């Protein structure tokens, strides 16, 4: 386009992993020493070049550089400022690649997680441990947590932003380098010094950023994008003041290098005045999550500040209704001069799959309602064109956009009157058990006649390579239904008889038929679509393909009954029915944007409720509903927590309360920081909750005692994230610590999480020891005499 007044288009950041997951394969090949560092770096270079080239061809004018990372951009930033913890033995100078990866993965590369979508833990073991990893804001991307001492010093230790700027320049592409802002970086860090807020290190950090900005300017940059998503969080006055001093200083670092300060993942709200008063040349605002801030930002920001309008959803996969967006912003921007505006996605497109054109097997209707990063880039260009040249210059595209939106709004694939009717029919009686816990726990005690301190596992048993091979051969049609079925049966037989042999009290079927705890259910529910190539980065080289919830959700057929039934037929001990909860299914999927999240969650809850009823009818006495992502869904702002927790609790209860008093409902959450949400956890009113506590030495159980959590609890006494086999004495000691906080009648004995990532060699002795510890305790307690308190829920002896 050779028009004078073209509004700039920015993408803020693109997916890094490549169309065919090239980065993953290059990393894994390097880690297993099958290829050299040079090979890995070359792959990175090719991926960057293709991303820049493609954005350029699509008409993006503010093309980002330094949005690429071999592992994680927060880790890159830590390395860039020389914040390398001493255990990695780095003595200054450029940080070697192997130190970088040791920080990410430990130098044994030993990290384990429960779910690729979920929680990650550095495993103990010989060698240097990895740094911690945690969720990036409210996304399912995980970053490496910087570790900063209270006497931390910083030095510019990597020229990555400059190098990548020059790399693009050599290709003839002028980029706008992206940096993680100093305050967000510090806010995401943790410190070994107790009570120390790393934001206090700002004065030491700023000179490094100043130096970097000067080098970027020298290299030819005219703009730099500095990401400060911390501006959408609840900030304390000190932190707000830190923004003022930081940007006061940085804006003077390199004259004529302009700063685009990017905020995203929500509204600025009480930080809006701070953000609009900073001496920066541009401000990016998220207008998808917080459309209302457009008018305010326009009014508060000085007229010479470029406003980057985050109009296209960078967090979800839906095609935009472009004319509707234009109509919405028109009254506000009508009076603005065009050079005040830039068009952008709400946030970096890192969290999106790359290109919808790869999905050749998707339903054509559904496909016509979607847009991935490449398609969203085109949408940005069209918006900019419509604003600067007039809508008529892109009339065809706008018309197609409206038509797709209209088709989706009325499609029978999306709207199921039966589901919508059921939702309208929800009443309070569907959200509570027949009797209160105190009463029903007695009924359960006599129905189940479990020993005190009952032993169980969380659900999955090792997913051996054989199991994975059989499943994928079946999925590809290489293994017949009959043969696959026979295989799964054999696995279940083995695992049930092994659990009996070792003496566990409540058994599981082992989850051998499941690929992923969300996908397995999504594939059997109506309203869910699955992709072939739509991978998004979860952390490092781990990518996930979240299901896309496109329509009203229902459960046409029972999903888990058959395998549960088979497992139960093999034993007299109770086998738990095993389900993933509605909140977790929602939080690990791309969710519809045409109804509230709470509504989509209610629909899933009703589908799970149907399954719970079918399991109970088939004879299941215990049903576990996993909510691994319950806490993950907490909004960024405290003021929004209550609303989330209210509907999340409601959905769990909708899913779980249809059963009789005698049926025991379990839930599992693989983390242990419950302090902030303990009331909501109690309100779930599950009969038993299993949680992770072994590594904190049960300290995190304090939440459960202080509020007098009344129901039963299985605090994990075997840390499954480590290959180490715990001794009986160690497990006993953990149980004794738990007994200091809970009553005996409340206590279950179980591992921290599912065993799918473990090996049989580890779990055989570990579970044997766990059962021995529980048995020894039963003996001891019996010898001491039954405490009155312990008798409350279980028939003791």
Question: In the complex, which residues of this chain contact Zn ion (CB under 5 A)?
Answer: 114, 670, 753
> Cα 334–337–338 angle (5° rounding)?
90
Q: Of 350 and 720, which has the nearer Cβ to ligand GLN?
A: 720
Nearest residue (CB) to Zn ion, 114 versus 226: 114
CB of 582 to ligand GLN, least distance (A): 15
119, 533, 666, 721: the active-site residue:
721
Could you tell which of Zn ion, ligand GLN, none binds residue 756, using a CB distance below 5 to 8 A set by kind?
ligand GLN
Minimum distance between the CB of residue 624 and ligand GLN, rounded to whole angstroms? 7
**458 near ligand GLN, judged by CB under 6 A:** yes
Q: Does 720 bind ligand GLN (CB under 6 A)?
A: no
Four-residue CA torsion sign, 503, 465, 121, 703: negative
CB-wise, 471 or 794, nearer to ligand GLN? 471
Q: How far is the CB of 513 from ligand GLN (least distance, A)?
A: 12
Annotate 499-525 with b (16+ C-beta within 10 A) or e (fewer): beebebbbbbbbbbbbebbbbbbbebb
> Residues 6 or more apart from 202 whose CB is under 8 A from it?
182, 183, 186, 242, 245, 246
Measured from the CB of residue 604, what is the shortest distance to Zn ion in angstroms?
19
Residue nearest to ligand GLN (CB): 754
- Alpha carbon of 375 to those of 313, 320, 709: distances in Å? 12, 10, 49
Nearer to ligand GLN, 146 or 714 (CB): 714
Answer for which of 121, 187, 533, 668 binds ligand GLN (CB under 6 A) is 668
Q: Is 575 in the site for ligand GLN (CB under 6 A)?
A: no
Instruction: Determine the 3-state secondary structure of 629 from DSSP.
Output: coil
Cα–Cα dist 210/216, whole Å = 10
Cβ at position 680, least distance to Zn ion in Å: 18
Member of 62, 597, 756, 758 binding ligand GLN (CB under 6 A): 756
Task: Find residue 624's DSSP bridge partners.
Answer: 578, 666
- Interaction of residue 85 with ligand GLN, rule CB under 6 A: no
- Under the criterion CB under 6 A, does residue 422 sit at the interface with ligand GLN? no
Single out the residue of 43, 460, 519, 656 in contact with ligand GLN (rule: CB under 6 A).
Answer: 460
Residue 560 found at the interface with ligand GLN (CB under 6 A): no
Piece of the chain touching ligand GLN by CB under 6 A; list 47-55, 264-272, 457-465, 738-746: 457-465
Least spacing, CB of residue 239 vs ligand GLN, in Å: 33
CA dist., res. 218 & res. 127, Å (int) = 41
CA separation for the pair 466, 340 (Å, rounded):
59
Token pair belonging to 193: 């010094």
CB closer to ligand GLN, 42 vs 764: 764
The answer to whether residue 577 forms part of the interface with ligand GLN (CB under 6 A) is no
Instruction: Find the shortest distance in angstroms from Cβ 121 to ligand GLN.
Output: 12
254 token code pair: 């390199």
Output DSSP code: residue 232.
G
Q: Which stretch binds ligand GLN (CB under 6 A): 95-103, 113-121, 341-349, 737-745?
A: 113-121
Q: Is-contact 73 179, C-beta < 8 A? A: no
| DSSP state string for 238-268 | HHHHHHHHHHHHHTTTSTT-EEEEE--SS--
Q: Which does 459 bind (CB under 5 to 8 A by kind): ligand GLN, Zn ion, none?
A: ligand GLN
How many residues belong to the site for ligand GLN (CB under 6 A)? 16
Alpha-carbon span 577 to 561, nearest angstrom:
8
| Closest separation in Å from C-beta 691 to ligand GLN | 10
Rank residues 235 and 517 by Cβ distance to ligand GLN and give the closer one.
517
Residue 666 among the catalytic residues? no
Cβ closer to ligand GLN: 310 or 462? 462
- The residue number with the shortest CB distance to Zn ion is 670
Stretch that binds ligand GLN, among 35-43, 172-180, 192-200, 748-756 (CB under 6 A): 748-756
CA–CA dist 385, 587 (Å, integer): 35
Among residues 167 and 511, whose Cβ is nearest to Zn ion? 511
Does position 688 bind ligand GLN by CB under 6 A?
no
**346 part of the interface to ligand GLN, by CB under 6 A:** no
Nearest distance from C-beta of residue 712 to ligand GLN, angstroms: 18
For residue 323, give every residue at least 6 positions away whose Cβ sits within 8 Å of its Cβ, in sequence order, or none: 391, 398, 401, 402
Q: How far apart are CA 509 and CA 502, in angstroms?
A: 15
Compute the distance between CA of residue 572 and CA of residue 534 in angstroms, rounded to an integer.
44
Both structure tokens of 532: 């072939």
Contact positions with ligand GLN (CB under 6 A) in 621-660: 626, 628
- Structure letter (DSSP) for residue 590: B
User: Which residues neighbour 124 within 8 Å (Cβ) at sequence distance 6 or greater?
Assistant: 722, 724
248 bridge partner residues: none
The three-class DSSP label of residue 669 is strand
Query: 778: which residues sit within 8 A by CB, 6+ positions away?
Result: 451, 452, 453
Q: Is 115 in the site for ligand GLN (CB under 6 A)?
A: yes
Using rule CB under 6 A, residue 767 touches ligand GLN: no
| Nearer to ligand GLN (CB atom), residue 17 or residue 753 | 753
Helix (H) or strand (E) holding 433: none
Token pair for 461: 């048993």
Give yes or no for residue 579 binding ligand GLN (CB under 6 A).
Answer: no
Beta bridge partners of 133: 144
Q: Which residues participate in catalysis according to the annotation?
A: 721
Please give the residue ranges that form the binding site for ligand GLN (CB under 6 A): 114-115, 118, 458-460, 511, 517, 578, 626, 628, 668, 670, 753-754, 756
């Amino acid at each position: 386009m050779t028009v004078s007044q073209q509004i700039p288009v920015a993408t803020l950041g693109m997916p890094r992993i490549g169309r065919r997951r090239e980065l993953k394969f290059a990393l894994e090949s390097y880690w297993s020493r099958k290829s050299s560092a040079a090979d890995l770096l070359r792959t990175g270079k090719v991926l960057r070049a293709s991303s820049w080239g493609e954005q350029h061809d699509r008409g993006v004018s503010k093309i980002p550089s330094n949005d690429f990372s071999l592992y994680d951009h927060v880790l890159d930033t830590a390395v860039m400022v020389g914040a390398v913890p001493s255990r990695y033995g780095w003595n200054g100078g450029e940080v070697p690649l192997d130190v970088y990866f040791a920080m990410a993965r430990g130098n044994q590369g030993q990290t384990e997680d429960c779910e690729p979508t979920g929680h990650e833990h550095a495993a103990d073991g010989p060698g240097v441990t990895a740094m911690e990893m945690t969720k990036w804001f409210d996304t399912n991307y995980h970053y490496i947590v910087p570790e900063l001492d209270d006497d931390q010093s910083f030095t510019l230790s990597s020229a990555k932003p400059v190098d990548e700027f020059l790399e693009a320049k050599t290709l003839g592409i002028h980029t706008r380098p992206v940096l993680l802002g100093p305050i967000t970086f510090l806010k995401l860090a943790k410190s070994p010094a107790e009570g120390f807020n790393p934001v206090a290190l700002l004065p030491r950090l700023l000179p490094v950023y100043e130096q970097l900005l000067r080098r970027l300017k020298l290299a030819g940059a005219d703009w730099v994008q500095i990401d400060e998503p911390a501006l959408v969080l609840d900030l304390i006055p000190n932190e707000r003041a830190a923004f003022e001093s930081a940007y006061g200083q940085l804006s003077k670092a390199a004259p004529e290098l302009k700063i685009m300060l990017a905020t995203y993942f929500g509204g600025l709200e009480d930080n809006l005045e701070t953000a609009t008063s900073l001496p920066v040349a541009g401000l990016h605002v998220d207008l998808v999550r917080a459309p209302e801030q457009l008018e305010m930002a326009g009014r508060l920001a000085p007229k010479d500040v470029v406003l980057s309008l985050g109009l296209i959803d960078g967090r979800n996969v839906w095609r935009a209704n472009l004319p509707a967006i234009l109509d919405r912003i028109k009254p506000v921007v009508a009076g603005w001069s065009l050079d005040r505006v830039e068009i952008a996605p709400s946030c970096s497109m890192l969290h999106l799959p790359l290109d919808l054109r790869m999905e050749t097997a998707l339903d054509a209707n559904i496909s016509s309602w979607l847009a991935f990063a490449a398609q969203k880039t085109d949408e940005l260009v069209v918006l900019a064109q419509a604003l600067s040249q007039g809508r008529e210059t892109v009339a065809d595209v706008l018309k197609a956009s409206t038509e797709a939106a209209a088709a989706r709004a009325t499609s029978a694939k999306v709207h199921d009157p039966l589901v919508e009717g059921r939702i309208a029919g929800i009443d309070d009686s569907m959200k509570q058990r027949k009797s209160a816990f105190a009463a029903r726990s007695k009924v359960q005690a006599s129905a189940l006649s479990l020993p005190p301190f009952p032993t169980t596992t969380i659900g999955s048993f090792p997913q051996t390579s054989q199991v994975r091979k059989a499943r994928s051969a079946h999925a590809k049609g290489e293994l017949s239904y009959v043969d696959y079925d026979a295989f799964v049966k054999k696995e279940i037989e083995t695992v049930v008889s092994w659990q009996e042999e070792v003496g566990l009290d409540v058994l599981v079927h082992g989850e051998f038929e499941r690929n992923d705890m969300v996908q397995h259910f999504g594939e059997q529910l109506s309203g869910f679509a699955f992709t072939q190539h739509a991978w998004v980065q979860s952390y490092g080289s781990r990518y996930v393909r979240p299901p896309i919830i496109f329509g009203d959700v229902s459960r046409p057929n029972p999903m888990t009954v058959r395998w549960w039934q088979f497992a139960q037929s093999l034993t007299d001990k109770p086998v738990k029915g095993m389900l993933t909860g509605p909140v977790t299914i929602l939080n690990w999927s791309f969710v519809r944007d045409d109804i509230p999240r709470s509504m989509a969650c209610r629909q899933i809850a009703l589908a799970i409720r149907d399954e719970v009823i079918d399991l109970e009818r088939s004879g299941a006495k215990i049903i576990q509903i996993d909510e691994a992502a319950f806490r993950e869904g907490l909004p960024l702002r405290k003021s929004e927590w209550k609303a989330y927790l209210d509907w999340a609790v409601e959905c769990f209860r909708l899913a779980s309360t249809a059963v009789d008093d005698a049926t025991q409902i379990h839930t599992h959450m693989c983390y242990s920081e419950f302090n902030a949400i303990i009331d909501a956890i109690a309100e779930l009113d599950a009969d038993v909750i299993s949680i992770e506590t072994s590594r904190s030495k049960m300290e995190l159980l304090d939440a459960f005692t202080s509020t007098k959590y009344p129901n039963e609890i299985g605090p994990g006494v075997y840390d499954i994230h480590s290959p180490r086999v715990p001794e009986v004495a160690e497990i006993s000691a953990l149980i004794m610590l738990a007994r200091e906080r809970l009553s005996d009648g409340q206590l279950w004995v179980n591992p921290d999480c599912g065993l799918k990532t473990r090996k049989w060699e580890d779990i055989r002795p570990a579970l044997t020891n766990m059962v021995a510890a529980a048995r020894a305790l039963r003996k001891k307690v019996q010898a001491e005499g039954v405490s009155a308190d312990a008798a409350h829920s279980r028939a003791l002896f």
